[in-house]
Amino acid sequence: MLKKIYELKDLNERKVINSKINQKTRLIMATQAVIISILFTSIFHAITINMMILMVLYKSIGLLITLFVFIFFIMMTLSYAEDIYYVLLNKKNLIDSSIDIKSFRINGFKQNIILGTALSLVLSIITYVILILI
Question: Per the confidence metrics, is the pTM higher than 0.75?
Answer: no
Q: Which domain holds residue 63?
A: 23-133
pLDDT computed for residue 60 by the predictor = 76
pLDDT tens-place string over residues 64-96: 888 888 888 888 888 888 888 888 888 888 777
State the total domains in the chain. Answer: 1
Q: Alpha-carbon torsion 9, 90, 17, 36, what sign?
A: negative
b/e per residue 94-106 (b: at least 16 CB within 10 A): bbeeebebeebbe
Closest to 87 (Cα-Cα) out of 40, 35, 38, 29: 29
Asked whether 66 and 46 are in contact (CB, 8 A), the reply is: no
**Measured distance CA(130)–CA(68) in Å, rounded:** 14
Residue 2 within a domain: no
pLDDT digits (tens, 9 = 90+) for 30-68: 888 889 888 888 888 888 888 888 887 777 778 888 888
pLDDT for position 12 = 62
Q: What is the pLDDT of residue 65?
A: 83
The pLDDT, as a whole number, for residue 67 is 84
pLDDT band at 101 (very low <50, low <70, confident <90, very high): confident
Whether residue 11 lies inside any domain: the answer is no
- Whether residue 54 is contained in a domain is answered as yes
